[in-house]
Structure 1
Amino acid sequence: MEIYLGTDNDKIRFPIVPSSIGVNRSNNIDTQAVIKLGEVPIFNGTSLKTIEFTSFFPNQEYNFCDYTGFMKPYEFSEKIQKWMYEGKPLRVIVTDSPTNMQCLIQQFDTVEQDGTRDLYFTLNLLEYRPIEVSNLNNSSSSSSSDNLTRPSEEITNNTQKTHKVVKGDCLWDIAQKYYGKGSLYPKIKEANKSKYPSLAKNNIIYSGMELIIP
């Protein structure tokens, strides 16, 4: 087993393979109160995976090192810190295993001990998922075409659909009313959480709120 971390053009191989490497996986699940059903789970996709392992950078070439001719401990440390503070997306590869993913360095702790000048460390990696922005060319073209064919008064007076919350409402029921599917409630939450902070942390709504229905 070999462990590599870095970019295509600049990577390191860890001289000492740790005794264990942990990969943590979980789902992002919210709960929503539904009238007459009570609390129901809502699956929002997978959470970011995390990888954690502990090892050390040797100050000399021990006979149990994975290879020879490696950098000094603090050279390894400085390179990892540079990547960490730059927020640079990296790739971690563990050979002879399925682990091969893009990641960011979430935490990197080091300590010297035993007087050997070996540098012990704990490294925490967080999965990196690139943000893909949809192509807006089609919508832009559509808007331009609309501007040519619609009267300007109609564009100016075009209003956003909204819903005024009354007692007993919940996001699930509102989504069911407008979209025909209660599970689409996150669309309403995302469109209104900047206006109503209670939605940013949870799914609470109050009577009198005027929600945008995107």
Structure 2
Amino acid sequence: MASILSFLNQAVDSLISSGSGLNTGCKLVLSCAGESVTFPVSPPSFEISNAYNNSTINVNSLGDINMLGKRGLTTIKFSSFFPAQAYDDIVNTTPDSPYSYVEKINSFAQKGQPCKLAISNTNINLNVSIDTFDYNEKDGTSDVYFSISLREYRYVLPNSNKLNNTTGLASRVAEERKEKVINWYPGMDLMDVAAQSMGQFFSIDKQDAKQLSVFRTLAKTKNLNVGTVLHATKQSIKISDDTIINF
């Protein structure tokens, strides 16, 4: 029981010291291919890493020069546990069995499709891949402890089919789809829906303007809330109540 008590104490200490935190209503939702996992116990902390790929070169007459690079991929890591029993004021939702979460996350990692991570009350809403997912049991409680590492996934739709002059390779193309199904999960907002609608149909340089246009149209549409299912194509979005938004 020592580890679970330590975990609970950490969560309580976090609440006392900050007055707010992940355990005060913040939810983490990982979704993939129309399915989702809402983590029943919010981690006491999470770690975000942003690389910017700066480099240093040496010029004979000047010495070292710092060369600014392009933004790398964001990584997110956190640890928590899937409870096998009730823990008052710690568990966000009525939990399923611990290994049902494990099986679903493992299935996400093997689907060959990117996932989506949304953390409510933060600006984190990213397409991601699952890099590592480790889990174990301890304390004899049947709770399953886990650590997960996620990496940002960027959709790239090239403007042409020309090969890159440096690598000799064609750009990675987002999976071509005639239609994309978007499930509105907790933690998503209208801009997230707009971004998902555009991500696989337009090249990066055109996405911002398209997203803003779709966002404005969605903002005027009624009957949009958590649980809504949208069907996006390159020309329109169809909402589950058969409302069609053309763009």
Q: Same fold (TM over 0.5)?
A: yes
CA deviation map 1:93-139 (0-9, x unaligned):
11011111111111111010111111000011111111222234xx8
Partner of 2:83: 58
Alignment-derived partner of residue 73 in structure 1? 98
Structure 1 gaps of 5+ residues are: 140-186, 193-214
Give the 3-state SS of the residue equivalent to 1:44 in structure 2: coil
Moved over 4 A (4+): none
Partner Cα separation in structure 2 for residue 191 and residue 112 of structure 1: 45
Matched position secondary structure for 1:6: strand
Q: 1:39 matched to which residue of 2?
A: 64
Displacement of 1:41: 1.8
In structure 2, C-alpha distance between the alignment counterparts of 1:133 and 1:31, rounded to whole Å: 30
After superposition, give the CA deviation of every residue in 1:134-170 in whole Å (9 maximum; x if it has no partner).
234xx8xxxxxxxxxxxxxxxxxxxxxxxxxxxxxxx
Aligned with 1:80: secondary structure?
helix
Q: Retained in 2: the 8 A contact 1:87–1:104?
A: no
> Is the CA contact 1:28–1:45 (under 8 Å) kept in the aligned structure 2?
yes
Q: Which moved more, 1:115-124 or 1:2-11?
A: 2-11
Q: Contact 1:87 / 1:105 at 8 angstroms: preserved in 2?
A: no
Change in 2 beyond 3 A, CA 1:191/1:90: closer
Pair 1:38–1:81, CA change in 2 (3 A): same
Q: Aligned runs of 1:21-36 on 2, under 5 Å?
A: 21-36=46-61
Give the % identical residues. Answer: 30
Q: TM-score, normalised by structure 2?
A: 0.53
Q: Judging changes above 3 Å, is the alpha-carbon distance between structure 1 residues 53 and 191 closer, same or farther for their aligned structure 2 residues?
A: closer
What does 1:4-153 correspond to in 2, within 5 Å?
4-7=29-32, 9-63=34-88, 64-68=90-94, 70-136=95-161
CA contact (8 A) 1:23 1:50 kept: yes
* Structure 1 residue matching 2:85: 3-state secondary structure: coil
RMSD: 2.3
**1:36, CA displacement in angstroms?**
1.6
Give the corresponding residue for 1:158. Answer: none
CA separation of 1:113 and 1:191: change in aligned 2, threshold 3 A? closer
Which amino acid letter does the alignment assign opposite residue 14 of structure 1?
Answer: F
Report the CA distance between 1:84 and its aligned residue.
1.5
Note closer, same or farther for the CA distance 1:80–1:191 as it changes in structure 2 (3 Å cut).
closer
Q: Secondary structure at the match of 1:133?
A: coil
Deviation at 1:8, TM superposition (A): 6.2
Question: How far apart are residue 191 of structure 1 and its match?
Answer: 5.3
State the TM-score, normalized to the length of structure 1. 0.60
Which one has a larger percent helix, Structure 1 or Structure 2?
1
- The structure that has the greater radius of gyration is 1
Q: Any unmatched runs of 5+ in structure 2?
A: 1-25, 169-247
The 1:48/1:116 distance shift into structure 2, 3 A limit, reads same
Contact 1:89 1:128 (C-alpha < 8 Å) held by counterparts: yes
